[in-house]
Amino acid sequence: MSIRVERDEETGVAVVTLDRPEKHNAVTLGMARELGAVWRGFRYEDEVRAIVVTGAGDRAFCTGIDREDAGRIPQPSSPYTIDDPLLTLGPKANDLWKPVIAAVEGMACGGAFYLLGEAEFVIAGENATFFDPHTTYGMVSAFETVHMARKMPYGEVARMALMGTAERVSARRAYETGLVSELTGPGGALDAARAAAAVIASHPTEAVQGTVRALWSVDGAARAQALAHAPHLVALGNLPPDRQGELFTRRSGGHRLR
The DSSP bridge partners found for residue 18 are 3, 55
Tell me if 197 is assigned to some domain: no
Per-residue pLDDT of the chain (258 residues; tens, 9 = 90+): 799 999 999 999 999 999 999 999 999 999 999 999 999 999 999 999 999 999 999 999 999 988 776 556 666 676 666 667 788 899 999 999 999 999 999 999 999 999 999 999 999 999 999 999 999 999 999 999 999 999 999 999 999 999 999 999 999 999 999 999 999 999 999 999 999 999 999 999 999 999 999 999 998 888 888 888 887 788 788 787 778 878 877 777 788 899
Q: How many domains does the chain have?
A: 1
User: For position 81, which CATH number holds?
Assistant: 3.90.226.10
C-alpha 76/C-alpha 80 separation (Å) is: 9
pTM > 0.95: no
Tell me if 111 is assigned to some domain: yes
Tell me if 198 is assigned to some domain: no
Full residue range of the structural domain in which residue 178 is found: 3-188+223-257
Tell me if 214 is assigned to some domain: no
Tell me if 79 is assigned to some domain: yes
